[in-house]
Structures are given as structure tokens and as C-alpha cells.
A and B are shown apart, each in its own frame.
Chain A
Amino acid sequence: MPAPAETLRRLEAALQRRFGSGARLDDVALATLGGSNRTLLFDLVEGGARRRLVFRQETYRIEHSPFIAPGAQFRLLGLARAHGVPVPAPLFETVPDDGLERGYVMECVAGETLPRRLLNDPAFAAARGRFADEAGAIVGRLHTIAAGDAAFLAGTPDSIDPLAAQLERFDFYGEAHPALEVAVRWLVRNRRPPSRCCLLHGDIRTGNLIMGPEGIRALLDWECAHLGDPMEELGWLCLRSWRFGSVDAPVGGFCAREPFYRAYSRASGIDVDPDAVRWWEVFGFVRWIVLNVMQAHGHWSGARRSPAYAACGRNTCLVEYDLLMTLAGHYA
């Protein structure tokens, strides 16, 4: 990976190739350390005009990665946008001549993503009140996109057999987690018949929705997209891990299931099967355990060290606890 100053110089050159030699880079900020991407925010200055943009760069490639390539993420932004799903407008993908890591540039959507602020700050009270209808409509519209329109995701392990994909990753990390095995065994013994297949964002949860006081502005972070059962997406959004203290509001800490399901069915034409959602919630816990084990593995293997990733290892048991309490019927 080039040094930060060199990255910025190359990014500015990439912008000049696409927007003219007068294009300038200004007010650069490093947003967050994502799962596999580095996110740079910057202003593109063209004459007197100024636009806030985002550069998503792939900085971490590992065996059995659960993340799709930046090129696929870029294509999905265009596809989602064409179907009325609010996403940041995609601008361009990097090419080898840019001398940058694989990535893409998109518009920056201003707003809030911090879960506890969204769930508790009075400034977002109106947005919270609208969440069931809005989120239901957005997820519903997304699920009207046929799997065939995103056929480039058909070879992703999660599109082929999501449970096998988790286990393959988990086994690669070499840890023993009986709680995960209990859930996997339960999933196998209660396996559900195959349902319909559509494009899934794969990571719709509190934290990946950017919101303003008026409501949802965009659905971010498409790196886990794949094809699959629409109920998988609903189960993931209802996972207890995304309720951030608002445990009695199953849909991301925002609202009850029923109004969200109703809005979803209206927009998608798909009936919600609550038992299927429950099955996918148990699956979601398994997946979230595997993702935490992956982050810890990235740390202790030396591939990508940080206190945050180290903490993920010790947070795995919190997910295991919620999973077992859910399976035992203590948590809804």
C-alpha cells in the first residue's frame, strides 16, 4: 500500500484524468477502519465548485474473505440506485494505471450512523417514528431486484450455501467454539426448504444506515452482498446485536417486527415468514461470531493489528451468549 501522502497524490491525479487538469483534492479525512476497506473523505474542487466525495479502497485481502471485490460493490451501487434504493451515487472505479489499491469513488452522503445517537437522541425522534415504514420500503424495493440482474454474485460462497460458507471460514481460523457448533447443529436439524432467491445487501443493520432527522438517507457498505433468501436479510436486521440497548425493539433497536414486516411486504410483494426469519436470526448469530473470530484472527496472526480487532476476539462470547439465550427462548 502506498504511503498516505503518495495515495493522496495518486488520487488527485486519478481525479484530474477524469474531471480535468484543474481538479484539486482538499479537506481529506480518514473515516473509519472498515472490515476490509479504507474510507477516505475529501472535497473535489473544480473551479469554484466543491463536492464531498468518498474513496473506498480495499486494503485487506485474506483467504476465505467474506467480502466481495470493490468492483462488484461499485456495480451494485448503480443497480440499487436504478431500483430506487437510496445509496451514494457511484462515480468511478480505480484502474491499474491509477496506481491505487482496488477501489472506487462515490458521492458522500452527509448524516449520522452512530447507533446510540440514532436510537436515543431527540433530534432523531421523527426519523425513529418513520423507521418501520421507511426501512420496510427500502429493503422491500431492494428485494424486487432479481438474482439474474446481479448474476456476477452467483459464484460468491454466500450465494451458493451460506451456512457452508460460514463454516469454511470458521474452520480456517482454527478456533473451537462449542456455542457456535450448538447453533450450527440446530440450524442443520431445523433446515428450511429453499425459498426464493434475490439480491441481498447482506449487512443491513443499525450502523450501515445513514440517517438525518427526517429519516433514512442511504444504505451503506455493500461488501457483504450476495444472492439468497430474502428472509436472511430480515433475520440479520433483527439480530439482537444491532439493538444497542433498545432490546425490546427487534428491528435494529428502532421498532417492532410487525409494522416493518407489513411495509416490507407492501414494497416487495413477498410474504414474511416469521419462523424463517427466526431461523435466519440464529444463522445471523453464527455469522456474527465468525466475523468476530475473523477480526481477532487478523489481529493475532499479525495480518492487521489493532486494539479494536483484538477486542473482537473477546467480544465473541457476548454474541454466543445472546445466541444461546435466544435458542433457549429467553430472548425474543
Chain B
Amino acid sequence: MDQDQPSLIEILRVVREFIDDSKDALPEKDRYHALCCSYLLALAEREVAAGALPGARASEAATTDARRELAVRVRAGECDADWDRTFERVLHDVIEKVRISKPEHLDAMHRRGR
């Protein structure tokens, strides 16, 4: 499933940068933990950059292309004749994105059973 910006590696990096910038303001006892978090996130960044998720990368590119093509077609009015199906497809994709970002944002009709 293709997500919006930022990328996974960018999310890892921004969290690490935030921790790096704020660790000096933390109480002594937490500073070491912050250094460890930073270390772990830097490790995870490298691992992702090295292609730890190769399958995800290939399918990501394909989804991005499909999404881009759909966006262009909808704007050009080429999906007007097939509006309801287009709408359902777009809603389905958005629901999948929300499941990653904030699942509790979904209405009860789209929540998965526990």
C-alpha cells in the first residue's frame, strides 16, 4: 500500500533528529535512553536504505504509478461515466492509508473487528 509523504525512512530520521536535538534537555537518567533510541533509529534507517524491505519497494512504485494515473484520469473527467466505482476505489485506498496513520479515525462502518 502506497502512503503519502514522508517515506518510512524519513519518519525514522525525523524522530531520531528530534531526539538528538532534545536529549540534552532531558534529565540525566533519560539521556542514555535517548542515545540508545537515536542509535536504534539510525540503525533502522540504514537497514531500510539497504533494502530490508525489497518487496515493499517494488510494489510501492507500482502503486504510486497507478495512483498517479488515476489522479490524472479523474481530473480530466475520464472517470465521470464510471463515477461510483471510481469513488469506491478511491475510498478503499484512503481507508487503507488511514489504517496506518490513525485507525481510530475511521467510522464504525470501516473499522475492523478486534
Closest-CB distance, B67 to chain A (whole angstroms): 5
**A176 close to B71 (CB less than 8 A):** yes
**A182 close to B90 (CB less than 8 A):** yes
Closest-CB distance, B89 to chain A (whole angstroms): 8
Residues in A whose Cβ lies below 8 Å from that of B100: 314
- Find the residue from A177, A299, A305 having the highest chain B CB count within 10 A: A177
- A206, B97: Cα distance in complex, Å: 26
Residues in B whose Cβ lies below 8 Å from that of A179: 90-91, 93-94
Residues in A whose Cβ lies below 8 Å from that of B79: 185
**A324 close to B94 (CB less than 8 A):** yes
Closest-CB distance, A246 to chain B (whole angstroms): 15
Q: Which of A299-319 contact B (CB under 8 A)?
A: 299-300, 305-307, 310, 313-318
> How many residues from A make CB contacts under 8 Å with B?
34
Residues in A whose Cβ lies below 8 Å from that of B95: 321
Mask: chain A, 73-96; 1 = CB below 8 Å from B; 0 = not: 000000000000000000000000
Q: Which of B72-102 contact A (CB under 8 A)?
A: 72, 74-75, 77, 79-80, 86-87, 89-91, 93-95, 97-98, 100-102
**A181 on interface, CB distance cutoff 8 Å:** yes
**A293 on interface, CB distance cutoff 8 Å:** yes
Residues in A whose Cβ lies below 8 Å from that of B107: 325, 330-331
- A320, B106: Cα distance in complex, Å: 11
**B17 close to A305 (CB less than 8 A):** yes
Residues in A whose Cβ lies below 8 Å from that of B68: 176
**A178 close to B67 (CB less than 8 A):** yes
Closest-CB distance, A307 to chain B (whole angstroms): 5
Closest-CB distance, A332 to chain B (whole angstroms): 13
B91 nearest CB neighbor, chain A only: A324
Identify B74's interface contact among A181, A299, A316, A330, CB under 8 A: A181
**A296 on interface, CB distance cutoff 8 Å:** yes
Residues in B whose Cβ lies below 8 Å from that of A327: 87
- A314, B94: Cα distance in complex, Å: 11
Identify B101's interface contact among A184, A299, A315, CB under 8 A: A315
Identify A318's interface contact among B14, B74, B93, B105, CB under 8 A: B105
**A328 on interface, CB distance cutoff 8 Å:** yes
**B70 close to A321 (CB less than 8 A):** no
B96 nearest CB neighbor, chain A only: A317
Identify A317's interface contact among B70, B86, B94, CB under 8 A: B94
Q: List 8 A-B contacts (CB under 8 A).
A: A176-B71, A182-B86, A182-B87, A297-B5, A310-B6, A313-B5, A317-B4, A318-B105
Q: Identify the B interface with A (CB < 8 A).
A: 3-7, 10-11, 14-15, 17-18, 64, 67-68, 70-72, 74-75, 77, 79-80, 86-87, 89-91, 93-95, 97-98, 100-102, 105-107, 109
